[in-house]
Amino acid sequence: MTEEPGASGALEAAIQRLELATAKLERRIGGLLERAGGGDLFEQDRAKLAAELDAARSRERELEAAGQQASIALGRAIADIRAALGDGSEGDDAAPEDEAGDALDFDNRDDEAAARFSKEA
């Protein structure tokens, strides 16, 4: 097989164009990496999300404590009302009931909510 004299020049020109395009692409990628902070952007996002998660967990603990305090206060208020009405059940430690007569289990409901929150997080 013999090479045509113009084919070698065309091949060399194509190789040179490819090398120039590759160099240009590498410069553009380098510029993009510099603007992105060389990957620091992802670390900053991760750190921000971790801080937000910590704040949300702290808020969850605060809400759980407030809910527990509210439950205690409601229990006391119910006992006071029963005592004032004189229905004789002021010493009754039974759980309050809903309209259907089913005992309300506030503690179990809190556990279920905490489990749902843990699954979402």
| Residue bearing the bigger pLDDT, 16 or 107 | 16
Q: How far apart are CA 7 and CA 33, in angstroms?
A: 39
pLDDT number for residue 33? 77
Mean pLDDT of 95-116: 58
Question: Residues 89, 82: contact at Cβ < 8 Å?
Answer: yes
How confident is the model over 45-88, as pLDDT tens digits?
888 899 999 999 999 999 999 999 999 999 999 999 999 998 75
**How much is the pTM?**
0.39
* CA distance between the termini of the chain: 69
Half-sphere exposure of 19 (CA within 13 A, CB side): 6
Q: What residue segments make up the domains of the chain, in order of their start?
A: 61-120
